[in-house]
Structure 1
Amino acid sequence: MNPSDIVKYLGKPYFQTSNCFIYNLDCVEAMAMLPDEFINLTVTSPPYNIGKEYENPLPLDDYITWCEKWITEVYRLTSSDGAFWLNLGYLSIKNRAKAIPISYLLWDKIPFYLIQEIVWNYGAGVAGSKFFSPRNEKFLWYVKNSETYTFNLDDIRDPNVKYPNQKKNGKIKVNPLGKNPTDVWEFPKVTSGKNRSSQERTPHPAQFPVAVIERIIKASSNQNQIILDPFLGSGTTAVVALDLNRVVIGFEIREEYCDIAANRIDNFLSEKNSKFEQLSLI
């Protein structure tokens, strides 16, 4: 695939750098312009329909229908060995649930094969008084084909091994690259606030830490493959994909968020070029 094919199908991007194409478009309309099996990996977190500033809340049935519609498009676009990583939070249902995982409402609406649910323990958040204090979100790892899918375990092994020199029959028992991470990932949240704001914080109100997306992209794609984020937001997927030498397409319906992502990518590339130039002088 030549990156120029992306422009051929989608037209001029709102923002473009080498291997990065951001479009200020509705993702359902935009995805319909792309051919089948064009994408290797989709990583995204759609609106939760809970009234955030970037949402237009819908009646619950309409929201579920909308989710099914855009996810079906992602399925069509995904290559035969490709994957779909979906982050969804919780919503309330009057007289039924204070916080039901949205994935429970979509279990039979997603055509992908579910490999695993990953729990992201982010370690900080609101304090509950009549319920346990929330400290996690979920990622659902789906694939197009349950037998042939990309999983680069050696690229994401955890070097923090308790007994690295443990032997069995005279041989080191543990892989020298580290252990297989568990299905509970402990990464700090991207915090805000005057005294506790994360270094990677942008003005976007819902931002993922780079470390979470990095593990996903390393595990489920290879260099030069195409990564899609239909709800680009602050641009974390784009920054990580570029850093890992992937091609990235991002759709974002709000222009101000396109600007946040574009500025972040520009800053990232400037810093990366500066480090490269410094190393070349050594």
Structure 2
Amino acid sequence: MSDNKEKKRAERNRTLTIADEERKQYIEQLCNIERDDCFAIDEVINKTIHADLFDALEKLPKGFADLIIIDPPYNLDKDFHGFKFKSSDSSSYLEYLRSWFPKIVALLKENGSLYLCGDWKCTSALQKVMEENLTVMNRITWQREKGRGALSNWKNGMEDIWFGVKDKNNYYFDVESVKMKRKVIAPYKVDGKPKDWEKTEEGNFRLTYPSNFWDDISIPYWSMPENTDHPTQKPEKLIAKLILASCPEGGVVFDPFLGSGTTSVVAKKLKRQYVGVEMNEEYCIWAEKRLQLAENDNSIQGYTDGVFWERNSLSAQQAQKKKRS
């Protein structure tokens, strides 16, 4: 029985739950790899593959993905609902990455992009394996405001995402789609008119180009409909930025450590195709339900009318949406 079924939720808690009658349906929807030959792309597109990654990599077609987003187990002791990952020394973790990373890169198109997630403990290993296989374009650092304090060290409030491509002279990047709407503190005028900003009843705002430091991300929590019981779930808003910037509409996004399905769900909401691999059946079930819910709700927290907003700007987002409707 699922852990999240056994928990009693508060009335306002919107964390994902799975009913008994749903479970069989979602299991039947999963793609399994118990066959000798390789899959054609149309056999796995828009599917959740329930399999061990090493088995799946041998069956997937080469060069099918426009974008690959990888959120592997960090070099930490972590229990993923019965699948336990043990931390190791830095050299051992690097060898773990090398055991599968080149095989994943082989699934990327020649003009494709790849993002690799990690924290400060493993970021040097991530950089190393990226440089061995791709051209590193940047390192994004995002503020992870949720977490416990530390008495004898600095609280860990940041994570990294390494951005790499196969061909630095030929890759997709749509910066216009990931601009952020920020509040203007000291508005500047020319001839009495706003200079590069907009005056509204909710305040003064400016569309800004994104940097490689993101401080607008909220970690999923109990009152958010995207929340699940996955211990390291990435926010939909975070993944949306990667997909919009680095995958054209209709392109294919691949996530080899799918977890509770965030990458596939966001790809679907943003009219991209997706393929995800996950070894934990329970997480696969959660992903399938979230994909079903996305049929009727393509909203992404913090992303309204094609614009990313600063954290704590919900009232302004709602006012703009109401004005345009």
Identity %: 24
Relative to the length of structure 1, the TM-score reads 0.78
Structure 1 residue runs without a partner (length 5+): 1-6, 91-99, 273-281
Q: 1:12 to 1:219 in 2, by over 3 A?
A: closer
Alignment of 1:1-282 (within 5 A): 9-10=38-39, 20-54=46-80, 55-57=84-86, 59-60=88-89, 61-90=91-120, 100=121, 102-110=122-130, 111-160=133-182, 162=184, 178-186=207-215, 187-192=217-222, 197-271=223-297
Contact in 1 for aligned 2:41/2:64 (Cα 8 Å): no
CA distance in 2, matches of 1:177, 1:243: 26
Contact in 1 for aligned 2:118/2:126 (Cα 8 Å): no
CA distance in 1, matches of 2:242, 2:187: 25
Task: Say which SS state the counterpart of residue 256 (structure 1) adopts.
Answer: helix
Q: 1:191 to 1:82 in 2, by over 3 A?
A: same
RMSD over aligned CA atoms reads 3.2
CA distance in 2, matches of 1:23, 1:42: 15
Q: Kindly tell me the number of residue pairs found equivalent between the two proteins.
A: 250
State the Cα distance separating 1:62 from its structure 2 match. 4.1
Contact in 2 for aligned 1:36/1:78 (Cα 8 Å): yes
Task: Say which SS state the counterpart of residue 159 (structure 1) adopts.
Answer: strand
Q: 1:37 to 1:164 in 2, by over 3 A?
A: farther
Q: 1:230 to 1:138 in 2, by over 3 A?
A: same
Structure 1 residues 173-222: Cα deviation after superposition (integer angstroms, max 9, x where no partner): 67998221121112111235xxxx43321121111111100011000010
Contact in 2 for aligned 1:167/1:173 (Cα 8 Å): no
CA distance in 1, matches of 2:212, 2:253: 22
CA distance in 2, matches of 1:24, 1:39: 18
Moved more, 33-42 or 103-112: 103-112
